[in-house]
Copies of this chain bind each other. A is one copy, B any other.
Amino acid sequence: MDSKWYNLIMKKINIGIIGLGTVGAGLVELIKKNGPEMRRRQGIDLRIIAACDLRAGQGKKVGLPKATVFSRDYRRVLADERVDTVIELIGGLQPAEEIIKRTLASGRNLVTANKKVLAEKARSLLRDAMNASGFFGYRAAITGYFPLIEFLNRSQLQSRVIEGAYGIFNGTCNYILTRMERERCSYRQALTAAQEEGYAELDPYLDVSGMDTAHKTVLLVNLLYGYQMDMKQLYVEGIQKIDYRDISFAAELDYRIKLLAIVRKAGSRCQVRVHPCLVSRRSQLGALDKVMNGLELEDARGQVGGFIGPGAGKFPAAYAVLDDVITMACGNRYSYPKRQAGLTISGINEVESNFYVRFMALDKPGVLAAISSVLAKRHISIASVIQKEEEPGKAVPIVMLTHLARERDMRAALDEIYRLKVIKSPPLMIRVFDELPSLRG
Contact = CB atoms under 8 A, between A and B. Distances in A.
Each complex incorporates copies of this chain amounting to 2
A278 to B, nearest CB: 16
B323 A158 contact: yes
Interface string A140-175: 000001110011001001111000000000000000
A118 to B, nearest CB: 22
A37 B340 CA distance: 13
Nearest to A306: B308
A42 B306 CA distance: 25
Given A44-B157, A310-B438, A316 B289 contact: no
Nearest to A325: B158
Main secondary structure of the interface of A (DSSP, over half): mixed
A84 to B, nearest CB: 19
Q: Number of contact residues on A: which range applies?
A: 35 or more
Contacts of A441: 289
A287 B441 CA distance: 10
Nearest to A337: B41
Given A287-B286, A307-B305, A308-B305, A42 B159 contact: yes
A151 B315 CA distance: 16
A38 B157 CA distance: 7
Interface in A277-334: 282-284, 286-289, 292, 296, 301, 303-310, 313, 315-316, 319, 322-323, 326-327, 330
Most buried by B among A37, A160, A282, A316: A160
A94 interface: no
B292 A439 contact: yes
B330 A157 contact: yes
B157 A147 contact: no
Contact of A316 (B147, B287, B303): B303
A309 B310 contact: no
Contact of A288 (B34, B284, B326): B284
A55 interface: no
A408 interface: no
Nearest to A332: B332
A82 interface: no
Interface in A1-43: 30, 34, 37-38, 41-42
A326 B150 CA distance: 13
B284 A322 contact: no
A33 to B, nearest CB: 8
B438 A326 contact: no
A282 B330 CA distance: 40
B303 A315 contact: yes
Interface string A54-72: 0000000000000000000
Contacts of A282: 287, 289
Given A154-B323, A283-B287, A289-B441, A305 B41 contact: no
Contacts of A394: none
Contacts of A305: 145-146, 307-310
18 contacts: A34-B159, A38-B157, A38-B158, A41-B159, A44-B157, A146-B305, A154-B327, A157-B330, A283-B287, A284-B288, A287-B287, A292-B438, A305-B307, A305-B309, A306-B309, A307-B307, A308-B308, A310-B438
